[in-house]
A and B are shown apart, each in its own frame.
Chain A
Amino acid sequence: MKLVTAIIKPFKVEDVKDALQKQGVNGMTVSDASGYGRQGGHVEVYRGAEYTVDLVPKVRVEALINDSDVNKVVDAILIAAKTGKIGDGKIWVMPVDEVVRVRTGERGSDAI
């Protein structure tokens, strides 16, 4: 089992959600995030006072998937989230030891 985490542009959430559903991913967790990478921040000006805003708003999408689905899920996110401009985000995959569905107590792949 794997945990796929994608940091994406906020307006790409719907596209990524649809793409994941098409790949049979039945659940995900979406949360607001902020951060920066190569994009850096941006400059805001209020009454002449310039502020460099380092942390840019992003959305973090997390989904638990089976090992066999990793490539197609990552590819789907890649296509859905990409604009080609700086700041598109990152995707990473981590191994997961155990998953438990709270309602039924199912474990492992059954709980995904």
Chain B
Amino acid sequence: MPEISAGDTAWVLISTALVLLMTVPGLALFYGGMVRAKSTLNMMMMSFGAIFVVGIIWVVFGYSVAFGPALDSGSFIGDPSAYLGLKGLLNSSALALNGAYYPIPATAFIAFQAMFAVITVALISGAIADRARYGTWLVFAAIWVTIVYLPVARAVFYFGDQEANGGGFIATKIKALDFAGGTAVHINAGAAGLALALVLGKRIGFGKMLLRPSNLPLVMIGAGLLWFGWFGFNAGSALGANGLAGVAFINTFSATCAAVAGWLVIEKFRYGHITSLGAASGIVAGLVAITPACAYVDTWGALSIGVISGAISALVVDLKHKFGFDDSLDVVGVHLVCGIIGTVLIGIFATTSVNEFGANGLLYGGGTGQLVRQIQAAVIVLIFSFVVTYILGTILNKAIGFRVTNDEELEGVDIALQAESAYDLVGSSKGSSKGRSA
């Protein structure tokens, strides 16, 4: 068992806080500014809600299901009782994952992975903006993280070195590469978002009324904070303060720059304008796409993945109008599409010159082997997440109702559900106080 490394532990702890910053306020602002003014607060609360629901589940049994010893041999989930309430882990012993040891305490890894579970759930909320019942969203978050996220996270992140002993099947059986969660986080959330958008149906006026973003400065602040936090997400996934973290860090930067360029060029030639929403969207597109690949590709690979993801996402993001599903904030067009692009392109651009534990892709003499493995992983997660989410969403919709009434939707969920409003820019809220305070 290795000694705990102070540097490695410090970096993972800092990265953990950075990943939390991605969700709040990063994603909350990014999404909150992109909806209409009458649902900004509710949109932000969906991210905040994901944190506390998933956070409680994570420490009670979630970590154990995702990273505990297998329930029984061949099982896709860990034994929830093994680390119930983080039993036996709140000490300074080194992290042990399926027989492999890391020079950081298990607690740092538990916290780091908690933030991944949180943001994956929060990402889904963008697909059902303006129209979801908040209580049902919280119930959904609790069940979804348990039956979809935990098994997928185990399949992708529970690698270790004992292949025959219940390791995650995507990591150790299929041997697909996913450094920081292109499959487990982004394809997973994107497919779930598509399923929920179909279950809840279109917003009133979708495709007819002006559903423009209410506050693009918030969107840009959110995108900037996501980028900042994403360095923790990707470089932190090295689980150490080391060269691999550095590779992941610089690739996270360069791919994102290329993605912004790709998005802006497409929209300039297609619509005649370079827009702030395009720049913010390009940032997220590039960050998503480089997530699985960040520690496996060189600079040319990172730039290629970036520009391809930004350009393709910009080209396909409006197809929802053609297909007629209201993925309100483009969880599908950005996260699912770019998650697939990043995951699959590892099979093209991966090179062992930057990471001996990676693989060589098609362009680096590795043939099509890795490409096939990457496609398999992407397809498996996509189908699993979509099907289970669709069934779960449908059951919740029938049982307790997932969508607000038309009146509530038209009034706006901020006032209808929360009795609050995000903005009072002109001070025009007349009325008297019946406050209980002095």
Contacts and interface: CB of A to CB of B under 8 A. Distances in A.
B213 A49 contact: no
B79 interface: no
A53 B210 contact: yes
B242 interface: no
Q: Size class of B's contact patch?
A: 10 to 19
Looking at A45, A46, A47, A49, which has the most chain B CB atoms within 10 Å of its CB? A47
A75 B211 CA distance: 41
A47 B216 CA distance: 12
Contact of A46 (B213, B314, B333): B213
A48 B317 contact: yes
B321 A47 contact: no
A44 B270 CA distance: 13
Nearest to B278: A47
B271 interface: yes
B411 interface: no
A51 interface: yes
A46 B279 CA distance: 11
Interface majority SS (helix, strand, loop, mixed), chain A: strand
A47 B270 contact: no
Contacts of A53: 210
Contacts, number: 30
B229 to A, nearest CB: 22
Given A45-B275, A46-B275, A46-B277, A51 B210 contact: yes
B317 A47 contact: yes
B303 to A, nearest CB: 23
A49 B281 CA distance: 14
B285 to A, nearest CB: 11
Contact of A48 (B210, B213, B314): B314
Nearest to A44: B212
Contacts of B275: 45-46
Interface string A23-54: 00000000000000000000011111111010
Interface in A57-107: none
B330 interface: yes
Contacts of B314: 48
B212 A46 contact: yes
Contacts of A46: 212-213, 275, 277
A45 B211 CA distance: 11
B87 interface: no
Nearest to A32: B426
A49 B278 CA distance: 12
Contacts of B163: none
B212 A48 contact: no
A45 B269 CA distance: 13
A31 B271 CA distance: 34
Given A46-B212, A47-B318, A49-B211, 14 more contacts: A45-B267, A45-B271, A45-B275, A46-B213, A47-B277, A47-B281, A47-B330, A47-B333, A48-B270, A48-B271, A48-B317, A48-B318, A51-B210, A51-B211
Interface of B: 210-213, 267, 270-271, 273, 275, 277-278, 281, 314, 317-318, 321, 330, 333
Interface of A: 44-51, 53
24 contacts: A44-B212, A45-B267, A45-B271, A45-B273, A45-B275, A46-B212, A46-B275, A46-B277, A47-B277, A47-B278, A47-B281, A47-B317, A47-B318, A47-B330, A47-B333, A48-B267, A48-B270, A48-B271, A48-B317, A48-B318, A49-B211, A49-B318, A50-B271, A51-B211
